[in-house]
Structure 1
């Protein structure tokens, strides 16, 4: 987010699926930590928990865009991306905020193509599931004490590199 904004100073909004999900909590903490350390010119002025409800993320994003017409960016931690995209489309701010979310899906792919979304942090859930099954089956079939582990790196997906379906 900070790199996208190129040294600008201002406010960001965060849409958190649920802080009861450890992954969402860790994403929020990591985001805030990097902002504090590397981009002190950016502050999170709005962080709402939406319980992964797109209609709630829509309402909260509309509020944020109305309350802060110069909002620089929105980070969606959970599954509220469709509500955020809908709000950006309908509100038509003078300058579209940078919008970052997680997981490449049919919807996020469309938001990238429509230029509503700037980056998808994709953790490749399908590959993670496949590797889990392979490890499980491998542990049953093998007498080796430890099976090799493959690290699955997250991918950054932009409009320019959206993989084909």
Structure 2
């Protein structure tokens, strides 16, 4: 069976004779092990170069559709724009459709516009609802792959979920809180932006499950529908503090952390442990000032790299199959704060 590369091309790449290459390809004796490795490396190099040629001049247009606080969408935009130069010789451009709060009907309408206009891929952070799943199905029918980011829509035709293991993130938060509060009797406030986001629901489930294991008698006070915004989280936290005088710790799943800090200050209350998510500017400031105890963070640039590779593989620009790896959960304190 002929090899995918001509013997002459492999020999030129390896710097050996064509006869030597022929012996290696047909597994004949009389070739030193080092020379065999040299020929095998030459074939691997040719594979890599063929991939580069396949990518050369290819242009991809992706759409990011996200309902999320501006702090997080800014992190995603920055991470993608930092990764784009590294995708050369392919060229990838992005259109951003970002809102802090988004009426479901309007979000669906935006996805349907993309399905009609065309795109090489959609990166989606949206509620897990039947309507969203149906819109993903229409994008799939239009040969537009959908990749969910941070929060999943599992009962849909999306090709992959990219992000951290949200249950593990919630369990990590519970473990840290139990360790840091083991000599303190205080209730814990858990704040989510919306019950419709699968990722937040999984974080809360992971948190509650781990709390039952580590500290089953500690009370959890739930605050929902904060939209992850400071102006909403502040009043909701203030009401929770007024109704629950023993609250002294917070796990903020959805954001709005400045509003939470301001509510504690206005009530004259201290927060013994405060754990949040993601390293936006506000959380960096709160971490350095001591208001946040720790931030659960993951590498968004690595997420963007995986998304780009998934899109290019879907369209045949990269060889093989790829299953995205789960983003690692990093516990960030003021002492290991990443630069930038």
Stretches of structure 2 lacking an aligned partner (at least 5 in a row): 1-176
Distance 1:67 1:97 in 2: 18
Report the alpha carbon displacement of residue 7 of structure 1 after superposing the two structures with TM: 4.5
Match of 1:115 in 2: 290
Distance 1:40 1:117 in 2: 24
Indicate conservation of the 8 Å contact 2:229/2:255, yes or no: yes
Distance 2:303 2:268 in 1: 37
Distance 1:56 1:150 in 2: 34
Structure (1/2) with the larger helix percentage: 2
Match of 2:195 in 1: 19
Distance 1:115 1:92 in 2: 16
Distance 1:80 1:152 in 2: 23
Work out whether 1:131 is the aligned partner of 2:306. yes
Q: Aligned to 2:271, what secondary structure does the other structure show?
A: coil
Q: Aligned to 2:179, what secondary structure does the other structure show?
A: coil
Name which of structure 1's ranges 45-54 and 116-125 shifts more when overlaid on structure 2.
45-54
**Alpha-carbon spacing, 1:56–1:161, altered in 2? closer, same or farther (3 Å):** same
Which structure 2 residues correspond to residues 31-42 of structure 1 after superposition, within 5 A?
31-42=207-218
Work out whether 1:6 is the aligned partner of 2:160. no
Indicate conservation of the 8 Å contact 2:189/2:247, yes or no: yes
Deviations 1:73-117 (A, max 9, x none): 111111222311232344442x32311111111110000011111
Indicate conservation of the 8 Å contact 1:71/1:97, yes or no: no
Which structure 2 residues correspond to residues 70-109 of structure 1 after superposition, within 5 A?
70-93=246-269, 95-109=270-284
Output the TM-score relative to the length of structure 2: 0.44
Q: Aligned to 2:295, what secondary structure does the other structure show?
A: strand
Distance 1:3 1:134 in 2: 39
**Alpha-carbon spacing, 1:66–1:97, altered in 2? closer, same or farther (3 Å):** farther
Output the TM-score relative to the length of structure 1: 0.86
Indicate conservation of the 8 Å contact 2:223/2:237, yes or no: no
Indicate conservation of the 8 Å contact 1:112/1:158, yes or no: yes
Distance 2:227 2:324 in 1: 33
Distance 2:313 2:330 in 1: 26
Indicate conservation of the 8 Å contact 1:8/1:41, yes or no: no
Indicate conservation of the 8 Å contact 1:89/1:116, yes or no: no
Q: Aligned to 2:237, what secondary structure does the other structure show?
A: helix
Report the alpha carbon displacement of residue 11 of structure 1 after superposing the two structures with TM: 1.1
Distance 2:209 2:183 in 1: 17
Distance 1:17 1:157 in 2: 22
